[in-house]
């Protein structure tokens, strides 16, 4: 087979220029459709992930609120019996203060759009850490100093501070949970 017959066979197999353009633009169209479909599905996946993160965040705050309400009951009970020289044995429970880390995974769009909301969740995280520090300090004092003469007075100071901080934190959580997070 010579060179001219090879060119003839190739040109016959390729068809006309119109066929070539049709194949080319079909490929371009299929690629664009694939890119659009992938982008759309990725957007759906991202929205689902964001909804899950926001849902987990809300659940952590609800769990903290339940713990705070239990701690507040314990503090109120102890304040009521402290004058009689009695105290509640059950220790106060620590809060989850790491819920802000959920936002580090993937900051949901609602927090990127609303800096105030992000500031509120950061404040809640800080207040939870402060509250945990107070609880730790109180428990260490309670365990190690019960024989001291001023023990009840000092515990009363701890309990009053924790009462105020716990009430403040519950109120802040309530305000945050009332926000529509859509």
In a domain, 75, yes or no: yes
pLDDT of residue 60: 93
User: pLDDT tens for residues 24-36?
Assistant: 777 777 777 676 7
In a domain, 108, yes or no: yes
In a domain, 40, yes or no: no
In a domain, 34, yes or no: no
Collect all residues with Cβ–Cβ distance below 8 Å to 166 and sequence separation of at least 6: 68, 71, 72, 75, 131
In a domain, 159, yes or no: yes
Q: Is the pTM of the predicted complex or chain greater than 0.85? A: no
pLDDT of residue 127: 92
Contact 105, 112 (CB under 8 A): no
**C-alpha span between 79 and 86 (Å, rounded):** 9
User: pLDDT tens for residues 46-77?
Assistant: 678 888 888 888 999 999 999 999 999 999 99
User: pLDDT tens for residues 4-17?
Assistant: 554 455 455 555 67
What six digits make up the tokens of 32? 């664009």
In a domain, 17, yes or no: no
What six digits make up the tokens of 98? 């790491």
pLDDT of residue 7: 47
Alpha helices in the chain (DSSP H): 3-14, 17-81, 101-105, 109-113, 115-144, 151-178
The answer on pLDDT for 43 being more than 90 is: no
Q: Which domain holds residue 112?
A: 49-178
**C-alpha span between 56 and 61 (Å, rounded):** 9
What six digits make up the tokens of 33? 């459709």
Helix (H, G, I), strand (E, B) or coil at 105: helix
User: pLDDT tens for residues 137-178?
Assistant: 999 998 898 788 888 889 999 999 999 999 999 999 999 898
In a domain, 26, yes or no: no
Contact 53, 154 (CB under 8 A): no
What six digits make up the tokens of 173? 């959580």
Number of folded domains that form the chain: 1
In a domain, 81, yes or no: yes
User: pLDDT tens for residues 81-137?
Assistant: 888 888 888 899 999 888 888 777 778 888 888 888 888 888 999 999 999 999 999
What six digits make up the tokens of 53? 């993160």
Collect all residues with Cβ–Cβ distance below 8 Å to 122 and sequence separation of at least 6: 100
């Amino acid at each position: 087979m010579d060179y001219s017959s090879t060119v003839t066979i190739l040109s016959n197999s390729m068809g006309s220029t119109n066929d070539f353009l049709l194949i080319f633009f079909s490929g371009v169209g299929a690629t664009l459709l694939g890119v659009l479909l992938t982008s759309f599905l990725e957007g759906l996946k991202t929205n689902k992930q964001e909804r899950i993160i926001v849902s987990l965040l809300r659940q952590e705050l609800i769990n903290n609120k339940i713990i705070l309400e239990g701690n507040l009951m314990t503090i109120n009970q102890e304040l009521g019996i402290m004058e009689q020289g009695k105290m509640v044995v059950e220790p106060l429970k620590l809060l989850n203060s790491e819920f802000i880390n959920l936002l580090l995974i993937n900051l949901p769009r609602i927090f990127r759009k609303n800096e105030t909301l992000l500031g509120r969740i950061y404040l809640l995280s800080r207040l939870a850490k402060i509250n945990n520090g107070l609880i730790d300090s109180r428990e260490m004092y309670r365990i190690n100093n019960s024989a001291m003469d001023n023990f009840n007075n000092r515990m009363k100071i701890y309990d009053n501070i924790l009462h105020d901080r716990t009430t403040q934190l519950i109120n802040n959580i309530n305000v945050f949970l009332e926000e529509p997070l859509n």
